[in-house]
Structure 1
Amino acid sequence: MSMSELVALGAPELPEGYFYRIRPSHITEGLFVDVRRQRRFFGSAELAGTVVYPSHFPNGGEAIIHGCQRAFQKWQETDAVRALVREANEFLGDHDPRGGR
């Protein structure tokens, strides 16, 4: 199934260079749904993921779309946290009460 087909069914659209990977899990009847980023030269990196159980949904398509939505949401949340950490890192170091180093 292509990215455009997943999006047409209700999955959040990912930017260019990003994709969903759906694979079996080690958990019985579960599926991993990951948001991944294509690496420059070889392979991809997992950015966020979730496990879905198709037996908990009326059909397999709804399970996969739900998994894509949850993985996308987790990716957005971790991205926001990383931005806060980068902002806080600007304050690293000693803070002398006299204003000097």
Structure 2
Amino acid sequence: MSMAELVALGAPELPEGYFYRVSSAMIKGYVRVSIRRARFIGSEQIETTVAALYRYDDELEAVVSGCRTAYQWWQEKEESTELAQRVQALYGDHDPRGGRR
């Protein structure tokens, strides 16, 4: 199945160089959905989740839900990292006269 087909079914579209990988979760009745980034050799896992097939009407719905969840977690992690970087800029001793040491 192509990314375009997953997106047509409701999965979030990923930026260029990223893709979904659907694989066995090694537990019967579950499927693993990962977001990966292509590298020069192979790929790097960015985010992953597991979907329980029994909770959905069919396996495609489970996979698309897994795509949505993995994408949401990835975005939350990115926002958290950006916030941490902004806060880190405030670290240090602050002089009572208004300057920073």
Query: TM-score range with shorter-chain normalisation?
Result: 0.7 to 0.9
Partner of 2:44: 45
Q: Evaluate the alpha carbon distance shift between residue 100 and residue 25 of structure 1 in structure 2; reply closer, same or farther with a 3 A threshold.
A: closer
Q: TM-score, normalised by structure 2?
A: 0.87
Partner of 2:60: 61
Partner of 1:29: 29
Q: TM-score, normalised by structure 1?
A: 0.87
Identity %: 48
Shift of 1:76: 0.9
What CA distance in whole angstroms lies between the structure 2 residues aligned with 1:86 and 1:44? 26
Q: Evaluate the alpha carbon distance shift between residue 100 and residue 34 of structure 1 in structure 2; reply closer, same or farther with a 3 A threshold.
A: closer
Runs of at least 5 residues in structure 1 that lack an aligned partner in the other structure: none
Partner of 1:72: 71
What CA distance in whole angstroms lies between the structure 2 residues aligned with 1:75 and 1:31? 18
- Aligned alpha-carbon RMSD (Å): 1.6
Residue correspondences, number? 100
